[in-house]
């Protein structure tokens, strides 16, 4: 409860300082509008510019890309650490792609997938999958050898060792890694939604930028932050519920 109060107080303090700095004219409003102007812009966007629809579209894109990345990264990451040969084959390729900046791949993705939804999902997936797969592989490598050997000596076969021991042991860190990479997925949203988009928060922010509507740009950024905050808290709650033994 004290921690929650401190978190709220810190957020209020930051917003208050921001408001004060903006009102005192320390920062020009076209660069950093005051929080009150951002709130007004946010209200206008909600009531007149269909912001909820754009939020829903962005959320759907992020989750589709993220789930695709997770569905692929979990088994591939496990295979990479379970079979040295698979790890040796994939790890250099994944490391190479992981360091490529996603914006650099926008032209290629347009050539490959056109300007439709596929490109947006692909770019979000790209920013998530290659990070997650290595995190999963590392988690798998950290499964205590004693646990595996205990299971083998009580008669578990390889599949049972995987399902009854390795995955159970990995559960908490896996969920943590999913939570972290979901956050990364959101950070690629703007890049994904500037590619011939006509919907999504990224599109809204990008359009507002063109007309130097800084309060609307800030409002869009704040919305992404709030979605991130709520999602993160929900996943933390799920973590506490699922892994009560920690």
Cβ proximity to other proteins: between 112 and 243 the closer is 243
Which residue pairs from 94-97 have beta carbons closer than 8 angstroms and sit at least 24 positions apart in sequence? 94/130, 94/133, 94/134, 95/134, 97/126, 97/130
Minimum distance of other proteins from residue 171's CB (angstroms): 7
Neighbours of 130 (CB within 10 A): 21
Minimum distance of other proteins from residue 158's CB (angstroms): 12
Cβ proximity to other proteins: between 159 and 210 the closer is 159
CA angle at 214 for the pair 209 and 216, rounded to the nearest 5°: 85
Neighbours of 58 (CB within 10 A): 28
147 sits near other proteins (criterion: CB under 8 A): yes
Region 156-185 residues binding other proteins, contact defined as CB under 8 A: 156, 160, 164-165, 168-169, 171
47 sits near other proteins (criterion: CB under 8 A): no
Only one of the segments 42-50, 124-132, 174-182, 238-246 lies at the binding site for other proteins (rule: CB under 8 A); that segment is 238-246
Residue of 111, 146, 210, 212 interacting with other proteins (CB under 8 A): 146
Residue of 29, 92, 103, 144 interacting with other proteins (CB under 8 A): 144
Residue with tokens 């408001």, as numbered in its chain: 19
Spatial distance between the Cα atoms of 199 and 192, rounded to a whole number of angstroms? 11
228 sits near other proteins (criterion: CB under 8 A): no
Only one of the segments 41-49, 102-110, 116-124, 150-158 lies at the binding site for other proteins (rule: CB under 8 A); that segment is 150-158
Minimum distance of other proteins from residue 170's CB (angstroms): 11
Cβ proximity to other proteins: between 148 and 227 the closer is 148
Cβ proximity to other proteins: between 45 and 140 the closer is 140
- C-beta of residue 199 within 8 angstroms of C-beta of residue 17: no
Per-residue tokens: 41 = 């812009």
Spatial distance between the Cα atoms of 144 and 161, rounded to a whole number of angstroms? 12
Q: Helix, strand, coil shares of the chain as percentages rounded to 5?
A: 85, 0, 15
Which positions lie near other proteins, rule CB under 8 A?
A: 144, 146-147, 149-156, 160, 164-165, 168-169, 171, 243-246
């Amino acid at each position: 409860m004290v921690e929650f109060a401190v978190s709220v107080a810190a957020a209020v303090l930051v917003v208050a300082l921001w408001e004060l700095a903006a009102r005192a004219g320390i920062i020009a409003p076209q660069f950093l509008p005051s929080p009150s102007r951002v709130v007004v812009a946010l209200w206008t966007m909600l009531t007149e510019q269909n912001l909820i629809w754009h939020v829903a579209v962005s959320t759907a894109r992020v989750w589709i890309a993220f789930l695709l990345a997770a569905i692929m990264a979990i088994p591939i990451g496990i295979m990479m650490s379970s079979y040295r040969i698979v790890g040796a084959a994939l790890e250099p390729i994944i490391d190479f792609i992981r360091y490529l900046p996603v914006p650099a791949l926008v032209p290629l993705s347009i050539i490959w997938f056109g300007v439709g939804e596929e490109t947006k999902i692909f770019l979000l997936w790209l920013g998530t999958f290659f990070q997650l797969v290595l995190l999963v592989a590392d988690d798998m490598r950290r499964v205590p050898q004693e646990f595996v050997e205990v299971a083998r000596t009580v008669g578990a076969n390889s599949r049972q060792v995987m399902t009854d021991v390795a995955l159970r042991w990995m559960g908490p860190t896996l969920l943590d890694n999913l939570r972290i990479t979901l956050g990364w997925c959101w950070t690629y949203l703007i890049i994904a939604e500037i590619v011939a988009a006509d919907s999504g928060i990224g599109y809204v922010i990008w359009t507002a930028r063109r007309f130097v509507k800084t309060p609307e740009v800030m409002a869009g950024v704040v919305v992404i932050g709030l979605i991130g905050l709520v999602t993160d808290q929900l996943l933390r709650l799920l973590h506490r519920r699922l892994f009560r033994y920690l």
